[in-house]
Chain A
C-alpha cells in the first residue's frame, strides 16, 4: 500500500489559490481513480478534484471554507495493493461502482449515446423529452405563434422530424393573410433583424484599422476555390492555433538559417558507457536529451539567442527554458523543459520523457507549454536530412536536428598523418534565428560551440 498526495492543482496561469468548498468523501471511504473527492471554488468556477488513484481516503489536510495556495496538499489517498480490493473501505462498494465511467459503446448519430445499461434507459427518457421540446419549435416560432394566436400544431412543419420552422410559420401567416387581408408585422421585423448583423460585421472588418496593428495583430487565411471531388473539412482547434502561430511567427521575424555537421561518436561513447553502468537508465537517454543538455549549457553564454525582441527593447531571458517539439500525429505540441541549465543529463532526459508522455496523453498543464525561450525539434527521427524551421513567436531561435546516421567522414589518422575515410554517426543541425537581434556570426559561434561540446561530450554530467 502506498500513499498518494492530492495537491491543490494548477487550474490556470493566473490562479494562485482556491477555496475548498465541499468534501465529497470522508476519511476511510473508498474512492476510485479519477472520482471526485472534493470540490474547490475560485472566482466563478467550481471544480472537482479527482483522486489520483483507487483506494481509501486516508487523511484530510484542509477544512471546508479554507483557502489554500496551488500545490498545497489537500488530502492523502492510500492506494489499493496489487489485487483488486473488493471489500475496500467502509463504504458500500456496490454504491461506489461508478456510473461515473460508463463503458464506451458505439453511438447513433442522433442520440447522446448509451453509456451503460443503467444509464441508457435514463438517457433515452431524457433524450425523448429533449427531442420532444427540440422538435416542437424554436423560441422565435413559439413567439410568432403566440403573437398571432396560432396553435403550432396546425402549422405544417418542413423541418427535421416535421418540426415547424420560422419559414413554415411565416408562410402559414402569409397564406392566412391572403385570405384575410392581414399583413404580418413579423415579415418586416425578421428581415430587418437578419440584415443588421451583416452590416455590423462589415463595419468590423472593413472599418479603419491601422494596417500595422492588423498585420501584426490578426491572422486571416485566404480562401481558395474547390475542384470537383475535393473534400473540405474545417481545421480542428490545434491546427487552427498552429496555423495562426506559424503565420505570425513568419511575419514578424526575419529568418536566417545556418547549418553545421555534428559527429555523434563522443555522444555515443558516453551513451554506451551510461548504458553499461546502468542499463535501465542509459537506454532511455535520447539524442534529443544530449542535445538539449548541451544547448542549455551554452544558452546562458549566448544571451541574445536566449532573448526576444519586444517593441524597442530586447528582453534577455533570465531562465533557460527549452521547448521540445512533440509530434502528436496529427498535430504538434511544444512542452517546455524549465530551467534546463540547472538539470543534469539524467534529469534532462527524465523530464523530456515525462513531458512527451504527458503531451501524448493530453495531460500537459498550461505552465508546461508556456515560457519557452529556445526550441529544439528532431524530425531527424523520421529521416529528415536538414530542416529549415520557423522560429516560434516570442523567441529568437530554434534548432532542428537532422537524421543521426552513419556517414563516410574524412579524418586525418593521427599516427600516420594520412587522410582516411571512416564511418561515423553524424547529423546536420540547422539553427533558425531572428536576424533582428542575432547576427550570423553569433549563430555560427553558438553552433560551433554546440558542435564542440557534443563532439567532446563530458562524462558524468
Chain B
C-alpha cells in the first residue's frame, strides 16, 4: 500500500448510524495501517446531526414534528453545529491519515472546501469561502457544510455534505451550523434544473483526488 492510495466506497443510501459504525471501524483500520486512505460517499435518509459545538436550540421543530417528518437525531463527535442530511445530498467522509505532511487541520478544512469549489466550477457554479464560516457558499447561500473529527494519530473522519438535488425545505427544521438567517441552496437550485447525483459524485471524487493528490485504487460505484 502506498502513501497516496485512496479507496472510494459508495455506500449508496445508508442510515446515518450504520455509516457511522463503518467510519469508526475504518478509522481504527486506517490507524493500524491495515487499509489505505478511504473516501466514503453516500446519501442518508433524513437525519439531523448535532456536533460538539452545537446547541439543541438550533433544532427549531419539536420532537413530535420530527417524528412526523421521519427525521432521526444523532449527537456526534465532529466539529461544528447542527446539520441536516437527506436524500439528494452527497455526503463524503474521508478517512485519511494526515501524516506525514498534512498535519494542519485548517489546511484540511480549506482543502475540503477547495475540492467542493472545484467541483462546483465544473457545473459553472462559482463557489466560494466565507471568512470564519467553514463551508462552501454560492454568493451568500450555503451549498455545502463541513464538520470533521481527527482521531489520535491524525486520522480524519466525518467530512462534508453538498446539496445536489435534495428538498431544501428540510433545512427549515434547524438553524444550519448555528448561523441564523442563512439561506441554503443546492446545485440543482443554482442551475435551475435537476441534476443527477451520479455525475456530481463522480466530479467530487475526481476533484477530491486532484486536491489531495491521491492515487485512486478502487472506485467502486462510479458507473
- Is the CB–CB distance between A134 and B150 below 8 Å? no
Contact of B106 among A13, A49, A160 (CB under 8 A): A13
- Is the CB–CB distance between B105 and A123 below 8 Å? no
Q: Which chain A residues in 173-204 approach chain B with CB under 8 Å?
A: 189-190, 193-194, 196-197, 200-201, 203-204
B56 within 8 Å of A (CB atoms): no
- Is the CB–CB distance between A12 and B104 below 8 Å? yes
- Is the CB–CB distance between A134 and B10 below 8 Å? yes
Contact with B along A58-82 (1 / 0, CB 8 A): 0000000000000000000000000
In the complex, chain B residues whose CB is within 8 Å of the CB of A363 = 99-100
A46 within 8 Å of B (CB atoms): yes
- Is the CB–CB distance between B148 and A137 below 8 Å? no
Contact of A126 among B25, B150, B220 (CB under 8 A): B25
Q: How many Å lie between the Cα of A206 and that of B130 in the bound state?
A: 28
A366: nearest residue on chain B (CB-CB)? B104
In the complex, chain B residues whose CB is within 8 Å of the CB of A47 = 105, 149-151
A165 within 8 Å of B (CB atoms): yes
In the complex, chain A residues whose CB is within 8 Å of the CB of B52 = 21-22, 39, 41, 46
B184 within 8 Å of A (CB atoms): no
In the complex, chain B residues whose CB is within 8 Å of the CB of A44 = 79-80, 109, 134, 146-148
Q: A97-105, A275-283, A423-431, A432-440: which one contacts chain B?
A: A97-105
Given contacts A44-B147, A122-B25, A130-B9, contact A113 B34 (CB under 8 A): yes
- Is the CB–CB distance between A133 and B12 below 8 Å? yes
Q: Which chain B residues in 6-58 approach chain A with CB under 8 Å?
A: 9-14, 18, 21-22, 25-26, 28-29, 31-35, 43, 51-53
In the complex, chain B residues whose CB is within 8 Å of the CB of A119 = 25, 28
A11 within 8 Å of B (CB atoms): yes
- Is the CB–CB distance between A42 and B195 below 8 Å? no
CB distance from A224 to the nearest CB of B (A): 19
- Is the CB–CB distance between A102 and B29 below 8 Å? yes
- Is the CB–CB distance between A39 and B152 below 8 Å? no
In the complex, chain A residues whose CB is within 8 Å of the CB of B134 = 43-44
In the complex, chain B residues whose CB is within 8 Å of the CB of A233 = 215
Contact of A236 among B4, B22, B77, B151 (CB under 8 A): B4
A401 within 8 Å of B (CB atoms): no
A448 within 8 Å of B (CB atoms): no
B12: nearest residue on chain A (CB-CB)? A133
CB distance from B188 to the nearest CB of A (A): 11
In the complex, chain B residues whose CB is within 8 Å of the CB of A166 = 198, 223
In the complex, chain A residues whose CB is within 8 Å of the CB of B43 = 139
Q: Which chain A residues in 254-268 approach chain B with CB under 8 Å?
A: none
- Is the CB–CB distance between B196 and A140 below 8 Å? yes
Q: Which chain B residues in 188-223 approach chain A with CB under 8 Å?
A: 194-199, 201, 203, 212-216, 220-221, 223
B121 within 8 Å of A (CB atoms): yes
In the complex, chain B residues whose CB is within 8 Å of the CB of A41 = 52-53, 79
A324 within 8 Å of B (CB atoms): no
Q: How many Å lie between the Cα of A190 and that of B220 in the bound state?
A: 20
Q: Do most interface residues of chain A lie in helix, strand or loop, or is the interface mixed?
A: mixed
CB distance from A394 to the nearest CB of B (A): 16
Q: How many Å lie between the Cα of A233 and that of B216 in the bound state?
A: 10
B183 within 8 Å of A (CB atoms): no
Interface centre among B87, B107, B213 (most CB of A within 10 A): B213
In the complex, chain B residues whose CB is within 8 Å of the CB of A201 = 122
- Is the CB–CB distance between B25 and A36 below 8 Å? no
In the complex, chain A residues whose CB is within 8 Å of the CB of B32 = 101-104, 115
B124 within 8 Å of A (CB atoms): yes
Q: A85-93, A237-245, A344-352: which one contacts chain B?
A: A237-245
Given contacts A130-B9, A200-B124, contact A112 B149 (CB under 8 A): no
In the complex, chain A residues whose CB is within 8 Å of the CB of B182 = none
Interface centre among B78, B104, B109 (most CB of A within 10 A): B104
In the complex, chain A residues whose CB is within 8 Å of the CB of B10 = 134, 138
A107: nearest residue on chain B (CB-CB)? B34
CB distance from A342 to the nearest CB of B (A): 26
- Is the CB–CB distance between B53 and A333 below 8 Å? no
A168: nearest residue on chain B (CB-CB)? B223
Q: How many Å lie between the Cα of A394 and that of B218 in the bound state?
A: 37
CB distance from B179 to the nearest CB of A (A): 12
- Is the CB–CB distance between B29 and A115 below 8 Å? yes
CB distance from B213 to the nearest CB of A (A): 4
A142 within 8 Å of B (CB atoms): yes
CB distance from A189 to the nearest CB of B (A): 8
B214: nearest residue on chain A (CB-CB)? A237
In the complex, chain B residues whose CB is within 8 Å of the CB of A12 = 103-108
Interface centre among A138, A142, A331 (most CB of B within 10 A): A138
A233: nearest residue on chain B (CB-CB)? B215
In the complex, chain A residues whose CB is within 8 Å of the CB of B21 = 126
A211 within 8 Å of B (CB atoms): no
Contact of B34 among A115, A137, A369 (CB under 8 A): A115
B153 within 8 Å of A (CB atoms): yes
Can you list 13 residue pairs at the A/B interface with Cβ under 8 Å? A39-B77, A44-B79, A45-B79, A46-B150, A47-B105, A100-B31, A112-B26, A113-B29, A134-B9, A165-B223, A193-B195, A235-B215, A237-B4
Footprint of A on B, CB under 8 Å?
2-4, 9-14, 18, 21-22, 25-26, 28-29, 31-35, 43, 51-53, 77-80, 87, 99-101, 103-109, 121-124, 132, 134, 146-153, 194-199, 201, 203, 212-216, 220-221, 223
Footprint of B on A, CB under 8 Å?
11-15, 21-22, 34-36, 39, 41-50, 99-105, 107, 112-113, 115, 119, 122-123, 126, 129-130, 133-134, 136-143, 159-160, 165-167, 189-190, 193-194, 196-197, 200-201, 203-204, 233-241, 331, 333, 359, 362-366, 369
